[in-house]
Amino acid sequence: MVYTAAATRMEDEIQREFDELVRRYYRQAYNLAYRLTGNAADAEDLVQDAFLRAYRFFDRYDRSMPFMNWFSRIMTNLYIDEYRRRGRLKTVSLDEPLQTEDGEEGTTLDLPDPRLSPLEIALDREYVDAIHEGLQQLAPEFRTAVVLADIQGHSYEEIAEMMGTSIGTVRSRIHRGRKQLRDYLLKRHPELFERGDLK
Amino acid sequence: MNCRYVQSHLSAYIDMELAGAEQQQIRAHLETCLECSAEYETLLRVKHLVRRLPIVRPTCDGEVILQRIRAHRVVPSMPRRLPFHTRWWRYAWGAVAVALVLWLTPRDENSPIRPLQSDTLTLPLTNASSKYQFSFPFPRQSEPRSIISPSYTPVHMPVMPASFDPFSPFMPNPALMPVVDMNQDRTGSLQPVLEVQTR
């Protein structure tokens, strides 16, 4: 049938385009998921769920926009709505002693690939873990806003659109998130805030 | 510009998300205020630390995600189109229905083309102030004539049964289709027949 052939070709094309996007952005997506969820198992689930949802609603993807803008929106909404509803978010109190990362977690946090960004080598492993832990102490909304702004490099306007809030809310979430993270890090690693050339 | 205001806007200032004038005012304040500039330094440091978190290496491959998506048998959403062989007769029946409606509606009183009409059957409506007439088209001996105004032209409007589905393969029987007599005035708007003489 002409119709069947055309439909199959159309499906194939969409499939190929989607596969290409997954391959290209998978690493970045996983990184975002890992920083949001805080551990490898949840990050894997979140990435998979987000890509599934992206695939299902692929016709809504505006090709004139960067894929990661659209995809980050799907992922952060999925993370905030669904993972919180399911009670999968670990909320750790600030007074609780720090959990040292075990071997399984350690394998997920590899040393940075020097080909990607030479700047990333600068931070000690100890500090990387501390910042990551500190991010996990924040409320999900604060963490999401901070991660989207500082790791993904989105503007406040883009974050507001992704999180479905006003720019004022984004501003206050980022500000409060950074202040809480600073207090957390100041308590544990005050040397990070000594004058230095860390830029 | 006081310290409290400046400190609440420091994150937005760091991210250059303030209006130009505000950005300059805060910069000027930071040059003079030691406390605010200390706060600014620590928040800026937090941003840089988060930005320097290494990109995490995914625990599973992107291909695995793609395989799982296919295993879920999710169909990507695309514009839904019915196969042509199930579409064409819907349009055909729709065209037939439209043609029939046009044929049953004479354009003027003296038109030689007259629909077959039966004796008028007057049915009182619950709204007693006006009386719609329902008549059956086969065969009609007398013409309803308006006595309200000679400028009115009686129009027989076939009424589609409520159950009529233009996309159904089964055509409604025109003989069973009721006709409403309406008066058309000079402007072309239709008025229900209030009183009708039949011979």
Per-residue tokens: A72: 């980050």
- Express each pLDDT in A132-177 by its tens digit: 999 999 999 999 999 999 999 999 999 999 999 999 999 999 999 9
CA B166 to chain centroid: 18
- Do the Cβ atoms of B54 and A120 come within 8 Å? yes
Chain A residue with the nearest C-alpha to that of B38 = A193
Per-residue pLDDT at B123 exceeds 70: no
- CA distance between the termini of chain B: 93
Residues forming a β-bridge with B120: B135
Q: Which residues of B touch A (CB under 8 A)?
A: 8-12, 15, 17, 41-43, 45-60, 62-63, 65-66, 68-69, 72, 74-79, 81, 83-85
Q: Which of B49, B81, B84 sits opposite A192 (nearest CB)?
A: B49
- Express each pLDDT in B126-156 by its tens digit: 444 444 444 444 444 455 544 444 455 555 6
Q: Which residues of A touch B11 (CB under 8 A)?
A: 171, 174-175, 178
DSSP string across B157-171: EE---TT--TTSSSP
- Express each pLDDT in A165-195 by its tens digit: 999 999 999 999 999 999 999 999 888 887 6
Angstroms from B151 CA to nearest CA on chain A: 55
Per-residue pLDDT at B171 exceeds 90: no
Rounded to 10°, the helix A2-37/A67-77 angle is 60
Quick one: which of B66, B105, B33 has its CA closest to A16? Answer: B66
Distances B82 to A15, A99, B125 between C-alpha atoms, Å: 20, 57, 42
Mean pLDDT of A104-117: 38
- Express each pLDDT in A24-73 by its tens digit: 999 999 999 999 998 888 898 899 999 999 988 888 888 888 899 999 99
Structural contact between residues B56 and A37, judged by C-beta atoms closer than 8 angstroms:
no
Structural contact between residues A98 and A137, judged by C-beta atoms closer than 8 angstroms:
no
Least trusted range by pLDDT, from A2-6, A135-139, A182-186, B117-121: B117-121
Taking the Cβ of residue A116 and every Cβ of chain B, the question of whether any pair is shorter than 8 Å is answered with: yes
- Express each pLDDT in A23-35 by its tens digit: 999 999 999 999 9
Quote the pLDDT of residue A133: 93
Phi/psi for B137 (5° steps) reads -70, -20
Quote the pLDDT of residue B181: 60
Question: Best mutation site among B50, B68, B72, B81 for testing chain A: the one with the most A CBs within 10 Å?
Answer: B50
Q: Work out the angle at residue A66's Cα, subtended by the Cα atoms of residues A158 and B52, and round it to the nearest 5 degrees.
A: 70
Per-residue tokens: B119: 């004796």
Per-residue tokens: A92: 């750790």
Look at B159 and A129; give whichever has higher pLDDT: A129
Determine what percent of chain A is predicted with pLDDT higher than 70. 75
Q: Which residues contact B57 (CB under 8 A, 6 or more apart)?
A: A27, A108, A110, A113
- Do the Cβ atoms of B55 and A117 come within 8 Å? yes
What's the mean per-residue pLDDT of chain A? 79
Task: For tokens 């883009």, name the residue.
Answer: A158
Read off the pLDDT band of A80 (50, 70, 90).
confident
Phi/psi for A54 (5° steps) reads -60, -40
Read off the pLDDT band of A102 (50, 70, 90).
very low
Distances A78 to A37, A62, A74, A88, B120 between C-alpha atoms, Å: 11, 19, 6, 12, 64
Quote the pLDDT of residue B130: 43
Taking the Cβ of residue A61 and every Cβ of chain B, the question of whether any pair is shorter than 8 Å is answered with: no
Q: Which residues of B touch A15 (CB under 8 A)?
A: 76
Q: Which residues contact A146 (CB under 8 A, 6 or more apart)?
A: A135, A138, A173, A174, A177, A178, A181, B50
Distances B41 to B47, B48, B49 between C-alpha atoms, Å: 10, 11, 12
- Do the Cβ atoms of A30 and B58 come within 8 Å? yes
Quote the pLDDT of residue A5: 73
Angstroms from B193 CA to nearest CA on chain A: 51
Q: Which residues of A touch B16 (CB under 8 A)?
A: none
Q: Which of A18, A27, A182 sits opposite B55 (nearest CB)?
A: A27
- Do the Cβ atoms of B47 and A178 come within 8 Å? yes
B157: left (phi over 0), alpha (psi -120 to 50) or beta: beta
- Do the Cβ atoms of A27 and B62 come within 8 Å? yes
Read off the pLDDT band of B199 (50, 70, 90).
very low
CA distance A180 to A172: 12
Read off the pLDDT band of B17 (50, 70, 90).
very high
